[in-house]
């Protein structure tokens, strides 16, 4: 690219750079909107995985508590009129 610029006149180089800048300006909003959509999708995916993980851990704790209650009731034995 530098050899091509050296072979061109300064006016041609300026015109080419101006055209590049115009193309970037035209495409910037489209690229920015695509990046925004991609970012939102990734964010939604991460939040979904986080929510699922929290929910499954909460369910594990509840199941552990139920198991602890069941173990304690088994150890204590059935409630009868004699031991209540």
Task: Give the DSSP per-residue string, 19-79.
Answer: HHHHHHHHHHHHHHHHHHHHHHHHHHHHHHHHHHHHHHHHHHHHHHHHHHHHHHHHHH---
Cα separation, 70 vs 73, whole angstroms: 5
Would you place residue 80 in the very low, low, confident or very high pLDDT band (cuts 50, 70, 90)?
Answer: low
Q: Give ∠ CA 42-26-17 in degrees, rounded to 5.
A: 120
Structural tokens at position 45: 């995916």
DSSP secondary-structure letter at 82? Answer: T
pLDDT tens-digit profile of 5-53? 557 888 888 999 999 988 888 889 899 999 999 999 999 999 999 999 8
pLDDT at 82 over 60: yes
């Amino acid at each position: 690219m530098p050899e091509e610029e050296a072979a061109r006149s300064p006016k041609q180089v300026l015109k080419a750079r101006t055209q590049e800048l115009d193309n970037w300006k035209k495409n910037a909003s489209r690229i920015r909107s695509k990046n925004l959509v991609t970012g939102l999708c990734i964010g939604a995916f991460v939040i979904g995985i986080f929510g699922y993980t929290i929910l499954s851990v909460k369910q594990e704790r509840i199941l552990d508590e139920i198991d602890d209650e069941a173990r304690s009731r088994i150890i204590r034995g059935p409630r009868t009129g004699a031991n209540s």
